[in-house]
């Protein structure tokens, strides 16, 4: 009967093959989840430092490379709450902008009256020349800047320091030129959005008492802080920062070194000016020769570095107030963007509403969807 001594072993092997889990874990379970996640993290890290082959890859790296501390602030959890009052139309538009999912025919021009520029997914949010849409873009920018100044006035320990803002007439500041004559510069230059005159009280400025470069208040030297507030594509933060630096403070390595440098001219006249250095830290030394940018993505993204360096370090907002302001800017941007898309659609010139179309498909089973009307 048992002539072959190997027969029982073969039976055992057959049993094992039919019921793998009953006897012993399969060999691949020996690789623990920790090892797998470590390997995954290592590969992601390696990929982040590979040379990018496309423009999109370069921009994603600029946004997410771990050494740059530039991770976009995720405020979507907040605007999903009822307190944020973000319509489903606005949320859908935000997601479509964030994932570049708004279809436009290639190389088309904007059909709105008075525009005719190249039309693309975010054209309506920054570049459209149609009178109505252009006015809404300006209001979106100015209202966002006023939100920043309102938080500064109400929540910053230095909120009573003087502010001059080129952001329309709003709740926090009146419209003024941010390079007033008493700074000693010539007039023919573009002015940044915000000038905060640190260590100089607002009531002194309102009374017509202007600071001089050597002025002090309560033992502290007057210091100028300029901020440029700008909205841009959620994947072009690095490019737009470069543009702002080249416009006001072209530093070594910029392609237009002949441009005048706002900070160097002010420092040559004796002013103390706050700016960023090459590492993105705030300070007043000669190395801090870059304008402070505050960027908000068209879909509402804000860089973590903006929250830490601009809101907390430069404006001196406590962490909770800085977080609340970032959430507020996120909601403002998303709501205003939805209002612009809805208006362009109601002008009857941009074809199928990019958001209403999908919202109708998603909620067809529930009730009559009238997406644009929910925007207000």
Binding stretches for Zn ion (CB under 5 A): 110, 112, 115, 128
Give the residue with the Cβ less far from Zn ion, 112 or 238: 112
Give the residue with the Cβ less far from Zn ion, 129 or 324: 129
Find the shortest distance in angstroms from Cβ 111 to Zn ion. 8
Find the shortest distance in angstroms from Cβ 345 to Zn ion. 13
Find the shortest distance in angstroms from Cβ 218 to Zn ion. 50
Find the shortest distance in angstroms from Cβ 108 to Zn ion. 11
Give the residue with the Cβ less far from Zn ion, 84 or 112: 112
Give the residue with the Cβ less far from Zn ion, 347 or 360: 347
Give the residue with the Cβ less far from Zn ion, 120 or 259: 120
Give the residue with the Cβ less far from Zn ion, 93 or 167: 93
In three-state form (DSSP H/G/I as H, E/B as E, the rest C), the secondary structure along the chain is CCCCCCHHHHHHHHHHHHCHHHHCCCHHHHCCHHHHHHHHHHHHHHHHCCCCCCHHHHHHHHHHCHHHCCCEECCHHHHCCHHHCCCHHHHHHHHHHHCCCCCCCCCCECCCCCCCCECCCCHHHCCCCCHHHHHHHHHHHHHHHHHHHHHHHHHCCCCCEEEEECCCCCCCCCECCCCCHHHCCCCCCCCCCEEEEEEEEHHHHHCCCCCCCCCEECCEECEEEEEEEEEECCCCHHHHHHHHHHHHCCCCCCCCCCCCCHHHHHHHCCCEEEEECCCCCEECCCCCCECEEEEEECCCCEEHHHHHHHHHHHCCCCHHHHHHHHHHHHHHHHHHHHHHHHHHHHCCCCCCCCCHHHHHHHCCCCCCCCHHHHCC
Find the shortest distance in angstroms from Cβ 153 to Zn ion. 35
Find the shortest distance in angstroms from Cβ 352 to Zn ion. 17
């Amino acid at each position: 009967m048992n002539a072959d001594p190997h027969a029982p072993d073969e039976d055992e092997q057959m049993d094992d093959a039919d019921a793998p889990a009953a006897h012993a874990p399969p060999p691949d379970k020996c690789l623990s989840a920790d090892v797998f996640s470590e390997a995954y993290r290592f590969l992601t890290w390696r990929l982040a430092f590979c040379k990018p082959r496309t423009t999109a890859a370069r921009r994603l790296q600029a946004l997410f490379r771990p050494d740059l501390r530039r991770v976009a602030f995720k405020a979507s959890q907040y605007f999903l709450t009822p307190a944020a009052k973000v319509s489903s139309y606005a949320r859908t538009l935000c997601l479509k902008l964030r994932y570049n999912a708004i279809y436009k025919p290639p190389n088309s021009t904007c059909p709105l009256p008075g525009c005719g520029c190249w039309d693309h997914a975010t054209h309506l949010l920054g570049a459209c020349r149609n009178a109505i849409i252009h006015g809404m873009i300006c209001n979106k920018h100015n209202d966002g800047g006023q939100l920043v100044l309102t938080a500064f006035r109400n929540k910053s320990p230095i909120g009573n320091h003087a502010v001059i803002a080129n952001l329309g007439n709003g709740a926090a500041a009146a419209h003024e030129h941010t390079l007033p004559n008493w700074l000693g510069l010539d007039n023919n230059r573009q002015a940044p959005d915000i000038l905060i005159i640190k260590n100089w009280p607002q009531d002194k400025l309102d009374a017509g008492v202007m600071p001089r470069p050597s002025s002090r208040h309560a033992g502290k030297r007057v210091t100028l802080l300029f901020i440029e507030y700008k909205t841009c594509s959620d994947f072009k933060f690095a490019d737009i920062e470069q543009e702002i630096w080249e416009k006001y403070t072209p530093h070594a390595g910029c392609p237009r070194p002949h441009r005048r440098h706002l900070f160097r001219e002010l420092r040559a006249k004796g002013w103390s000016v706050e700016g960023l250095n090459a590492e993105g830290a705030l300070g007043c030394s000669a190395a801090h020769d870059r304008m402070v940018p505050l960027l908000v993505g068209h879909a509402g993204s804000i860089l973590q570095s903006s929250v830490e360096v601009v809101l907390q370090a430069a404006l001196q907002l406590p962490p909770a107030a800085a977080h609340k302001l970032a959430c507020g800017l996120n909601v403002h941007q998303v709501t205003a963007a939805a209002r612009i898309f809805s208006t362009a659609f109601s002008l009857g010139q941009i074809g199928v509403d990019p958001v209403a179309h999908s919202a109708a498909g998603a909620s067809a089973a529930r009730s009559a969807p009238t997406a644009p009307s929910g925007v207000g």
